[in-house]
Structure 1
Amino acid sequence: MHLYETLADDLSWLICAGVYPPGARLPSVRHISRQRGVSVSTSVRAYHELERRGVIEAAPRSGYFVVGPRRSALPSVPEHGASPVPVAGAHRILQLLAAADDPRTVSFGAATPHPDYMPSAAMAAASRTVWRRARRRCMNQAFPPGAVELRTELARRLAMAGCRLDPDDLLITNGCQEAMAIALKMLCRPGDVVAVEAPTYYGLLEVLEQQQLRALPIPSDPSQGLALDPLEQAFRTREVRACVVTPVASNPLGVTLSDERKQALVALAERHAVPIVEDDTYGELVETGRRPTPLKAWDRAGRVYYCGSATKTICAGLRIGWLAMPGRYRQQAAMAQYLRTISVNTPAQLTLAHYLATGHIDRHMRAAARAYRQCVARLIAELEQHFPAGTKISAPQGGFLVWAELPGTVDTGALLAESLRCGVSFAPGALFAPNGGFENCMRLNAAVAWDQAAQSALQNLGGLVRDRLG
C-alpha cells in the first residue's frame, strides 16, 4: 500500500469515528504534512483519494470538507448465470437522442456534457490557427490511419499514462464507438460471443447488434466493477471471442477498477488468450491527482485493443476517437475504417492536435473532473430529496453519470414517454442490457446546466416515479 493510501485510511477512520463530523473542515494540506511527517504531495494525494471515495469534497479557496452521509444504498449487483443472447432494440436510442436536441427538454438522458464544461474558447482559437496555417490541407481528406500530428500527440499523451505506443499503432476514428466497432470487426464473426459488463453502455450493444454478435453479460459491482470470477468461468466454459470493458468510470455505473484488478484482468486475458477491447472514454475524468492507468499499460502480449475519444472530455462535436491495436492488424483496421466512413474530419483532427500540443489540456482535465464531481454530488443530493425512499444510487468514481435503481416494479421504459411530455429525459435501464433486466433503473447525466429548470425537472421526474408507486 502506498503512503498516501495509508494516510487516506487513517483520515477516513477519524471521519468515521466522528472526530471530523459531516461538514467539518479538514486540516490544511501543509498542516497535515507537518503533523504526519509526510510530504505535501503525499498529503495532496491522500486528500484526492478521499475525494475519489466520496468522503470529502473541495471548496474553492476554502479547503476540504467532510461530506454528509448518503441516505441511499448502492444499486444491486445483477445475478450471474446469463447465457449469450442476440442483441436487439437499438431503435429505442433514437427517441433519447431526439430529446437531447430539443430545447424544450431538460436532457439527463444523453451522455453529453453541457458545452460550458468544454474548453470552447481554446478550441475556437485552435481552429482559427489551423485554418490560417493549413487551409489547403483542411480542404482535403485525411485518409486512414489519420493525421500524423494527432497520432503523435496522442502517443505522447498515452505514454505519460504508461502505454508504450508508436504513432503508427494508432488509427483515428469517428468517435470511440467506431473504434470499438472496428476492433470487434477484426476479432469476431457473426454469431460469436462477446463478454460485456452488466449493465453496459448501450452504444456497445448497438455495435453488437449491427455485427450480429451475441452478448454474454458479466455482473458489474457498483463499488468494485467487473466481477472477475464469473468472467474467468466464462472464458473457461464458453467460446468467448472477446471481452469489452470500461475499466475507468464505467458507463453507466461510474466504477473504476483498482490497479490490482486491472492487472488481474489483463493476466486473465493472456492466460485464456481472449482479447480485451478497452473503452477508455472517461479515463481522464477522475479527480485523483493522477491519471488512472489504462489496461493497455500492462499489455505485453498484444491482447488489449485500446479505444479512446475526445467527445466526453474536450469537444463532443469533433467526433474524434482512436484505436490502438497490435501492429499486425494495422492495415486491416485502416481498411475497415476506410470502408465504414472513408476518412475522419480533417480540420477536426488538426484542431485537436494543435490543442493537445499547446499543453493546456491538463489544466482543463483537472477543472472538468472537479466540476463533474460536484455535478454528480448535486445530482445525487437532488435524487435523494425528490425520489422515493428505497431508491438506490451509484457512487461514481469518475465521469458524470449516475445510475439509479427505483424501488418496486417501476418500468422506466414506460416512464420515459410520460417524462418526455413533462420536458425531462433520462436513459431507461433496459437500454443497458442485451437480454432484458434493469427495467426499474435509469441513467442520468449530471453534467447539465444546473439552473432552476434542471431542479424543477428532477422534482417533476421524482413526482412521476412516486405516482407510479402509488
Structure 2
Amino acid sequence: MRLYEKLADDLAWAIRRGAFAPGARLPSVRHISQQRGVSVSTAVRAYHELERRGLIDAAPRSGFFVVGPRRSALPSVPQRRLTPVPVAGGGRILQLLAAADDPRVVSFGAATPQAGYMPSAALAAASRTVWRNARRRCMTQAFPPGAIELRTALAKRLALAGCRLDPDDVLITNGCQEAMAIALQLLCRPGDVVAVEAPTYYGLLEVLEQQQLRALPIPSDPKTGISLDALEQAFSTGEARACVVTPVAANPLGVTLSDERKQKLAALVARYKVPLIEDDTYGELVETGRRAIPVKAWDRVGLVYYCGSATKTICAGLRIGWLSVPATHRAQAAKAQYLRTVSVNTWAQLTLAHYLATGPIDRHMRAAARSYRQCVAELVDQLERHFPAGTKISAPQAGFLVWVELPGTMDTDVLLEDSLRRGISFAPGPLFAPTDGFENCMRLNAAVEWNDRTKAAIQTLGGLVCARIALN
C-alpha cells in the first residue's frame, strides 16, 4: 500500500468514526503533512483520494470539508443466470440524441458533457496553429491508420500510464464506439458470444446487434464493478469469444475497478485466452494526480484490445477515438476502418495531436474531473431532495453518469414519454440490457449547466416518478 493510501485510510476511518463531523474542515495540507511526517505532495494525494471516495469536498481557497452522509442506498446487483442472449435493439436511442440537440429540452439523456467543461480556448488556439502551419494537409485525408503525429502523441501519453505501445500499434477511429466495433469484427463471427457488464453501454449493444453477436451479461456491482467470479465462470465454459469491460467509470454505473481487480482481470484474460476489449473512455477523468492505470498496462500476452476517445474528456465534436491492436491484426484493423468511414478528419487529428503535445492537458483533466465530481454531487443532492423514498442512487468514482433505481414497479420507457412532453430527457434502464431488464432504472448525465432550469427539471422529473408510483 502506498503512503498516501495509508494516510487516506486513516483519515477515512476517523471520518466514519465521527472524529470529523459532516461539514467540518479538515486540517490543512501543510498541517497534516507535519503532523504525520509525510511530504506535502503525499498529503495532497491522500486528500484527493478521500475526494475520490466521496468522503470530503474541496472548496477553492478554503480547504477540504467532510461531506454529509448519503441518504440513498446504492442500486441493486442484478441476479441473472449466465446465459447468452440475442440483442434486441433499443428504439429510444435516436430519440434521446435528438433531444440532446433540442434547446427546448433539458437533456440528461445523452452522455455528452456540456461544452463549458471542455478546453475550448486551448483547442481553438491549436486549431489555428495547425491550419496556419499545415493548411494543405488539413484539406487532404489521413487514411488509416491515421496521422502519425496523433498516434505518436497517444502512444507517449499511454506510456505514462504503463502501456507498452508503439505508434504503429494505434489506429485512429471515429470515436470509441467505432474502435470497439472494429475490435469485435476482428475477433468474432455472427452467432459468437461476447461477455458484457450488466448493465452495459447501449452503444455497445447496438454494435453487437449489428454484427449478429450474442451478449452474455455479467453482473456488475455498483461498488466493486464486474463480478470476476462470474466472468471466470463464463470463460471456463469456453462460450465467450471475447469480453468488453469499462474499468473506469463504467457506463452506466460509474463504478471503477481497483488496480488489484484490474490485474486479476488481466490474469483471467491471459489464463483463459479470451480477448478483452477495454473501453477506457473515462480513464483520464481522475483527480489523484495521475490518470487511472488501464488493464492494458498488465497485458503481457497481447490479448487486450485497448479503446479510447477524446469525446468525454477534450471535445465531443472532434469524434476521435483510437484502438490498439497486435501487429498480426494491424492491416485488418486499418482495412476495417477504411471500409467503415474511409478516414478520420485530418484537421481534427492534427489539432488534437498539437493540443496533446503543447496544451495544459493534465491541468485540464484534473479540472474536468473536479467539475464532474461537483456536478455528480449536485445531481445526487437534487435526486435525494425530490425523488421518492426508496430511490437508490449510484456513487460514481469518476466520470459524470449517475444510475438510479426507482422503488416499486416502474416502466421508465413510459416515464420517458411523460418526461419528454415536459421538455426533459433521460436514458431509460431497458436501453442498457440486451433483452429485458432494468425497467425501473434510469441513467442521468450530471455534466450539464447547473442552474434554476436544470434543478427545476429534476424536481419535475421527481414529481412524475411520484405520480407514477401513486398510480401503481
TM-score computed with the length of structure 1 as normaliser = 0.99
Partner of 1:5: 5
Partner of 1:273: 273
- After TM superposition, the structure 1 = structure 2 runs for residues 44-193 of structure 1, keeping only pairs within 5 Å, are 44-193=44-193
Please give the alpha-carbon distance, in whole angstroms, between the structure 2 residues aligned to 1:82 and 1:100. 35
- Aligned-pair CA distance for 1:7: 1.0
Partner of 2:232: 232
Would you say the 8 A contact 2:122–2:359 is kept in 1? no
Q: Deviations over 1:328-355 (max 9, x none)?
A: 1000000000000000011100110111
**Partner AA of 2:136 in structure 1:** R
- Aligned-pair CA distance for 1:82: 3.6
Please give the alpha-carbon distance, in whole angstroms, between the structure 1 residues aligned to 2:91 and 2:384. 32
Would you say the 8 A contact 1:90–1:209 is kept in 2? no
Q: Is the partner of 2:150 in helix, strand or coil?
A: helix
**Partner AA of 1:3 in structure 2:** L
% identical equivalent positions: 79
- Aligned-pair CA distance for 1:435: 2.0
Would you say the 8 A contact 2:82–2:234 is kept in 1? no
**Partner AA of 2:223 in structure 1:** S
Please give the alpha-carbon distance, in whole angstroms, between the structure 2 residues aligned to 1:44 and 1:100. 37
Would you say the 8 A contact 1:107–1:426 is kept in 2? yes
Q: Deviations over 1:221-277 (max 9, x none)?
A: 000001000100011124110000000111111111011100000000110010000
1:21 corresponds to 2:21: yes
Would you say the 8 A contact 1:375–1:446 is kept in 2? yes
**Partner AA of 2:78 in structure 1:** P
1:443 corresponds to 2:443: yes
Q: Is the partner of 1:308 in helix, strand or coil?
A: strand
- Aligned-pair CA distance for 1:445: 0.3
Please give the alpha-carbon distance, in whole angstroms, between the structure 2 residues aligned to 1:146 and 1:386. 48
1:212 corresponds to 2:188: no
Q: Is the partner of 2:13 in helix, strand or coil?
A: helix
**Partner AA of 2:401 in structure 1:** L
**Partner AA of 1:40 in structure 2:** V
- Aligned-pair CA distance for 1:10: 1.0
Please give the alpha-carbon distance, in whole angstroms, between the structure 2 residues aligned to 1:448 and 1:11. 32
Q: Is the partner of 2:285 in helix, strand or coil?
A: coil
Would you say the 8 A contact 2:222–2:395 is kept in 1? yes
Please give the alpha-carbon distance, in whole angstroms, between the structure 1 residues aligned to 2:27 and 2:359. 32
Partner of 2:460: 460
Is the deviation greater in 184-193 or in 123-132? 123-132
Partner of 2:255: 255
Please give the alpha-carbon distance, in whole angstroms, between the structure 2 residues aligned to 1:355 and 1:446. 26
**Partner AA of 2:405 in structure 1:** E
Q: Is the partner of 1:367 in helix, strand or coil?
A: helix
Please give the alpha-carbon distance, in whole angstroms, between the structure 1 residues aligned to 2:287 and 2:201. 22
- Aligned-pair CA distance for 1:18: 1.4
Q: Deviations over 1:3-36 (max 9, x none)?
A: 2111111111111121110000000111001101
Please give the alpha-carbon distance, in whole angstroms, between the structure 2 residues aligned to 1:154 and 1:90. 33
Q: Deviations over 1:274-300 (max 9, x none)?
A: 000000000011222221100000001
Partner of 2:383: 383
- Aligned-pair CA distance for 1:39: 1.3
Is the deviation greater in 333-342 or in 89-98? 89-98
Would you say the 8 A contact 2:12–2:50 is kept in 1? yes
Unaligned runs of 5+ in 1: none
**Partner AA of 1:61 in structure 2:** R
Is the deviation greater in 309-318 or in 1-10? 1-10
Please give the alpha-carbon distance, in whole angstroms, between the structure 2 residues aligned to 1:80 and 1:423. 35
Please give the alpha-carbon distance, in whole angstroms, between the structure 2 residues aligned to 1:318 and 1:448. 19
Would you say the 8 A contact 2:170–2:324 is kept in 1? yes
Unaligned runs of 5+ in 2: none
RMSD of aligned alpha carbons: 0.8
Partner of 1:399: 399
Please give the alpha-carbon distance, in whole angstroms, between the structure 2 residues aligned to 1:427 and 1:287. 27
Partner of 1:223: 223
Q: Deviations over 1:121-148 (max 9, x none)?
A: 1111111111111111111100000000
Q: Is the partner of 1:242 in helix, strand or coil?
A: strand
Please give the alpha-carbon distance, in whole angstroms, between the structure 2 residues aligned to 1:454 and 1:67. 23
TM-score computed with the length of structure 2 as normaliser = 0.99
Partner of 1:203: 203
Runs of 4+ in 1 over 2 A off after TM superposition: none
Please give the alpha-carbon distance, in whole angstroms, between the structure 2 residues aligned to 1:288 and 1:436. 38
Partner of 1:296: 296
- Aligned-pair CA distance for 1:90: 3.6
Please give the alpha-carbon distance, in whole angstroms, between the structure 2 residues aligned to 1:96 and 1:109. 6
Is the deviation greater in 112-121 or in 80-89? 80-89
Would you say the 8 A contact 2:176–2:322 is kept in 1? yes
Please give the alpha-carbon distance, in whole angstroms, between the structure 2 residues aligned to 1:32 and 1:415. 49
Q: Deviations over 1:143-180 (max 9, x none)?
A: 00000000000011001111010000000000000000
Q: Is the partner of 2:322 in helix, strand or coil?
A: strand
Would you say the 8 A contact 1:80–1:230 is kept in 2? no
Partner of 2:336: 336
- Aligned-pair CA distance for 1:53: 0.7
Q: Is the partner of 1:307 in helix, strand or coil?
A: strand
Would you say the 8 A contact 2:373–2:398 is kept in 1? yes
Please give the alpha-carbon distance, in whole angstroms, between the structure 1 residues aligned to 2:324 and 2:190. 23
**Partner AA of 1:223 in structure 2:** K
- Aligned-pair CA distance for 1:80: 3.3
Is the deviation greater in 341-350 or in 284-293? 284-293
- Aligned-pair CA distance for 1:361: 0.7
Partner of 1:242: 242
Would you say the 8 A contact 1:86–1:214 is kept in 2? yes
Please give the alpha-carbon distance, in whole angstroms, between the structure 1 residues aligned to 2:142 and 2:2. 45
Please give the alpha-carbon distance, in whole angstroms, between the structure 1 residues aligned to 2:108 and 2:162. 34
Number of residue pairs matched by the alignment: 470
**Partner AA of 2:313 in structure 1:** T
Q: Is the partner of 2:216 in helix, strand or coil?
A: strand
